[in-house]
Structure 1
Amino acid sequence: MTSFRCKFSIGNQRYVQVNEWKGELRVDIREWRDDKPTKKGISLTLMRWKNLVDQLQYADQALQNKLSYWIHVGGNVYCNITDNSVCVDIRQYWKPEQELVPTKKGICLRPKEYSCLKELVPQIGKVLPELDAVVPCYLQSDHMNQIGALQCPECNPNDCDKIA
């Protein structure tokens, strides 16, 4: 059962929604059709949302300077901007062999949608006071050494089980 706290439009029938799914609070960035969510979008845990928000200034710099930008926000979810692009892609990846491959789980935000998303960050923070208690993986005590970070399924989802 899904229950939601809020839903904000970012344009073009795309919305940011804070909801609870399977007992976990999540931030959904998703396209809707006929008042129903579609598969086109991404659902972020609170930690991944916080990591994304913490990186928005760097994404802005990349967009302004027309540079590529690639940041892992956790669990194989990446925020990606390609050279000379005006769009921000937030997408789940997987690693079938040696190289990460994008999946259909994600959304590419056009400039106005991305701008709206950034403007909504403070409002989403007010709706989600639980964000204040979220500590990013890299600041947790078990990540104070390289082995701890490599064993984390959130930080190193493809290879954490290979570390002995």
Structure 2
Amino acid sequence: MDNFLVVSSKRPLEDEGEEKDVKRVKPYNKNTDEEYDIGNDCHVSAQRHEGNVYIHIRYFDTSPTGRKYPSKKGIVLHLEKWKKLTEDCLDEIDKALEDSQKEDGNVSYKEHLGHNVHVTVEQGYKWVDIRKWWKPEDAENIVATRKGISLPVDLWKEFKKTIPVLRKRFQKELDDIRYCYLDHDNQMSMLKCPGCNPNDYMNHELI
């Protein structure tokens, strides 16, 4: 099931009172609408590109002159993937993260957000990993790439505080999102979708 976009129940909006705890910072560049510091030089920002909204979750480095700049340690999520992460997966992630710290736990949570981006929580690890995966040629299973970010428990809690603020900011765009699976008439249609079946869809296009 890793290759398919699976929908769970929609999570209700968080308490908007959390907005007061969000640490807004000056946007790094002119394309950034909103930017927040969630701790340990990790920023969450919303940027526009060619009419689309993307949510960046990224660690920042500091130059020799003292200027902070975004590093390669991070992930960029199209607003559709961010919506799935923060509405459909959030409760499951929190539960998996809690269970993963139990000595008798056996947690191996993995959810496909689309286009080979997965969120995972593993037993014994105190973080949520959001990462791009890929399938090497002739391999049976997909493997994780370096394009992604691991958010420790404390940063994950701070990340969640940005969710209601971003929802309010981009409510119109979020309302307009239509998951691709809603347009799949059958199993073959899903197999041909590069979002739902990114590692094998070309083989089905030839059928």
Alignment of 1:1-164 (within 5 A): 3-34=31-62, 35-53=68-86, 54-66=88-100, 67-96=107-136, 97-129=139-171, 130-138=173-181, 140-141=182-183, 143-163=184-204, 164=207
Unaligned runs of 5+ in 2: 1-28, 63-67, 101-106
Give the fraction of aligned pairs with identical amino acids, expressed as a percent: 37
Report if aligned partners of 1:63, 1:84 keep a CA contact under 8 Å in 2: no
- Residues 46-102 of structure 1, C-alpha deviation per residue, up to 9 Å, x if partnerless? 111111112011011111111221000011000011112220000001101222111
Name the structure with the higher helix share. 1
C-alpha distance in 2 between matches for 1:6 and 1:90: 20
CA-based RMSD: 1.5
C-alpha distance in 2 between matches for 1:111 and 1:124: 20
- The count of residues paired between Structure 1 and Structure 2 equals 162
SS state of the match for residue 198, structure 2? coil
SS state of the match for residue 99, structure 1? coil
Which deviates further from its counterpart, 58-67 or 16-25? Answer: 16-25
Report if aligned partners of 1:3, 1:20 keep a CA contact under 8 Å in 2: yes
C-alpha distance in 1 between matches for 2:129 and 2:30: 25
C-alpha distance in 2 between matches for 1:145 and 1:2: 43
Instruction: Point out 4+ residue stretches in structure 1 off by more than 3 angstroms.
Output: none
